[in-house]
Amino acid sequence: MSAGTPVVPSLAARTRPGSASLADRPVKIDVKDLNFYYGQKRALENISIQLRANVVSAFIGPSGCGKSTFLRTLNRMNDIIPGTRVDGTVLIDNVNIYDPKIDVVGLRRRVGMVFQKSNPFPKSIFDNVAYGLRINGMATSKAEVHERVEASLRAAALWDEVKDRLHDSALAISGGQQQRLCIARALAVKPKVLLMDEPASALDPIATQHIEELIYDLKKDYTIVIVTHNMQQAARVSDFTAFFWLGRLVEYDRTEKIFTAPAEKLTEDYVTGRFG
């Protein structure tokens, strides 16, 4: 990255040797005819989409279009909001996560989530990462916990910055560091999928760049779905982009196709900034 260039060049482009390799990836998340209701109001209408493994998929669209709501149906985070209802199926690794036999606690461990506003626990940096290991019984010895905490912080590119103050409060580090801590915390419990709800919207450009580079690195090991308001960010980090409008999925395709030659007029108007 050359100094003086404020705009980060497309990270995803570095792994775009040919379109065939990405389209060949197995389907990780297969959503069929998903409807979502807040009380009587239908917030998502007949969403069907296939998200592939080890790629970054971005959801874009104007505020209130349902992209965050849709993201939260993928780990059943909407379950905790009273008065909501879902129909349709969401298959992750060919298992319907809305099957009554599915244990939502186990699901959320496998489908991690990072939120718009970083929400570290008011505990030490170490305990933030160790929390998930402890509650899930994933590490038995102290040494094992320490090892996983270090590995997770390294994976989130935060280790070097915090290794000397692991037992300081997580609230004392910067906003960008807090968000990477939340990513480390999510990685610690070894998820398969990582959902990110506008993870950089509250961060400055440098911190945003850190997060974007991190997303690029993480897709080797995780399937990543990111909601973003920032179209440049979607263009930089994602391989596939889905455009949502008024609770419907308008278009879903390779990112460069969405931004250069979208099939729908609505998509074109949105990505060229004519509305939204």
Under the rule (CB under 8 A), what is the footprint of other proteins? 75, 77, 80, 82, 105-106, 108-110, 112-113, 115, 117, 119-122, 131-132, 135-136, 169, 171-172, 182, 185-186, 189
Please give the single-letter amino acid code of residue 162.
V
* Residue number with CB closer to other proteins (11 or 114): 114
Task: Choose between 80 and 143: whose C-beta lies nearer to other proteins.
Answer: 80
Residue among 26 and 106 whose Cβ is closer to other proteins: 106
Nearer to other proteins among residue 11 and residue 155 (C-beta): 155
Q: How far is CA 245 from CA 60, 63, 242, 250, 270, in A?
A: 9, 9, 10, 6, 10
Least Å from the CB of residue 16 to other proteins: 30
Closest CA to 156 of 217, 98, 105: 217
The least CB distance from residue 177 to other proteins, in Å, is: 16
Query: Least Å distance between CB 46 and other proteins?
Result: 27
Of residues 109 and 236, the one with the C-beta less far from other proteins: 109
Shortest Cβ 181–other proteins spacing (Å): 11
Report CA 248 to chain centroid distance, whole Å.
20
Q: Which is nearer to other proteins, 172 or 263 (CB)?
A: 172
Cβ density class 187-223: b for 16+ within 10 Å, e for less: bbbbbbbbbbbbbbeebeeebbbbbbbbbbebbeebb
Least Å distance, CB 176 to other proteins, is 17
Paired strand residues for 241: 58, 253
Type of residue at 69 = T
CA 125 from chain center: how many Å? 22
Pick the closer one to other proteins by CB: 90 or 231. Answer: 90
Q: Enter the tokens of residue 248.
A: 């419907």
Pick the closer one to other proteins by CB: 37 or 121.
121
Q: How far apart are CA 242 and CA 173, in angstroms?
A: 34
Q: Which amino acid is at 266?
A: L
Q: Minimum Å distance from CB 97 to other proteins?
A: 13
At its nearest, how many Å lie between other proteins and the CB of residue 132?
4
Distance in Å, CB of 75 to other proteins, minimum: 7
Concatenated DSSP letters of 89-155: EEEETTEETTSTTS-HHHHHHHEEEE-SS----SSBHHHHHHHHHHHTT---SHHHHHHHHHHHHHH
Angle between helices 175-188 and 205-218 in degrees, nearest 10: 20
142 alpha-carbon distance from chain centroid:
30
